[in-house]
Amino acid sequence: MLFSSITYLFYFFAAFMILYFAVPFKLKNAVLLIFSLIFYAWGGVKYALLMVAAIFIGYTFGLLIEKFREKKRISLAFMWLAVTSILAFMLYFKYTNFFIDNFNKLTGSSIDFLQITLPVGISFYTFQTISYVIDVYRGVPAQKNLIDLAAYVSMFPQLIAGPIVRYVDVAAELKERTHSIDKVAEGIRRFVIGFGKKILIADRLSQLGDILRNTDEKSVLLYWVYGISVALYIYFDFSGYSDMAIGLGKMFGFKFLENFNYPYISKSATEFWRRWHMSLGSWFRDYVYIPLGGNRVSKLRHVFNIFVVWFLTGFWHGAAWNFIIWGLFFGVLLLIEKFFTLKYLEKSKVLCHVYTLLAAVLSFVVFNATDMKEAFVYIGGMFGVGDIPLATTEILYHLQSYAVIFLIAIVGATPIVKSTAIKLSTSEKTGKIVNIIEPIFIISVFLVAVSYLVDGSFSPFLYFRF
């Protein structure tokens, strides 16, 4: 089931809200759990059972880790057994055929691929369950209530595509949280903004990308327009989902941490990754990078630690070499900045931004490619490799047709709109006018986006693949 679907908006969510706010607080987590399981089972009951199995593993081993906390070796053994068991699910369903494919290529074997379907959102709930187990080992009290833990892992607002919510960030709210009209209104506002980003911007940019990908009239300008549209599409698609998840959480009394902070205004690749998919970056920092020693080791080991983190970051996104190369690309950039270029880049704001945007666009061309061969063709085309013209009438036509969407996307990827809205709403002269216009704007965005849904002009979230 998709957030951006008529079934979700007008049937599932409406039924959930009525029941959720009708029951007393002690039953709210149970209602949240039941509807989350229904939401996830919509795509296949067997995959919901897989998630339930991960929940039981996390719950059982969490209690065992806490029980034997004073016996470090036993507690550590239980922690590793839980982590490897939960991780095994993701490795099997997500990476088995990748390993078979590469083994066949290396050895000349012809092992058949397994008929495996990737369970939607497995990368997200796997990381959440692992973080819970590790945090319990580090001293966080284990959750005694199975329903509360299951509600945390399966919580449908962020289950499918994040943000990766850590147990420690919502543990108190699972036990006690407040609900109010103001929170619901704020949540609706945030949900609709994300809904609009997805349907009205991301899907239009995805549509343009498909058109450019399938045309026979390739040109240098076409490849650049494609690269920029892909970079903007991925941002609005994923940040739109995060906005919707954060908004839904707010309605239910949860405060999910932000996942994006205008990454395209960054002045370096290092800053870009402090602003992009922040929940994933902080997860790898706290559960991989720091345990490996972080930067408090020799320079060679530090470099190794960074490569491990960025290899895993790329591999987490998908079972294909282009994702691994994408991750390592950023790892190399971060190392170069750290040891050589960052102090020079900081001297020129314009150069910083141009360099960072160029790196981002090139990286997302690799990220969005079907394989590395296609990625090299597209990047080569951006720099005039091959017998292609600088521009054609077709790309000029498409650029003109999508100019408004491009302009909205570029402006929307900066804090300009948000900062202007805050400034106007807090001004004595314009505050009252903004308070009248804002709900009209929110309703208009929702209705226009819904009209696209009715027309069938939408696509699944990109990060459902992960």
Which residue type does 379 have?
Answer: I
The active-site residue, picked from 277, 302, 317, 398, is 317
DSSP 8-class letter at 386:
S
Written as six digits, the tokens of 165 are 């919510």
Instruction: Report the distance separating Cα 185 and Cα 250, nearest Å.
Output: 9
CA dihedral 80, 83, 84, 87 (to 10 degrees): -170
Residue 111 falls in which region: left (phi positive, over 0), alpha (psi -120 to 50) or beta: beta
Q: Contact, 399 vs 195, CB < 8 A? A: no
Residue 317 bears catalytic tag:
yes
DSSP 8-class letter at 42:
T
Q: Contact, 194 vs 243, CB < 8 A? A: yes
* Closest by Cα among 275, 251, 278 to 189: 251
Give the count of beta carbons closer than 10 Å to the beta carbon of residue 315: 19
Residues 6+ apart with CB under 8 A from 305: 289, 292, 293, 294, 295, 297
> What are the residue numbers of the active site?
317
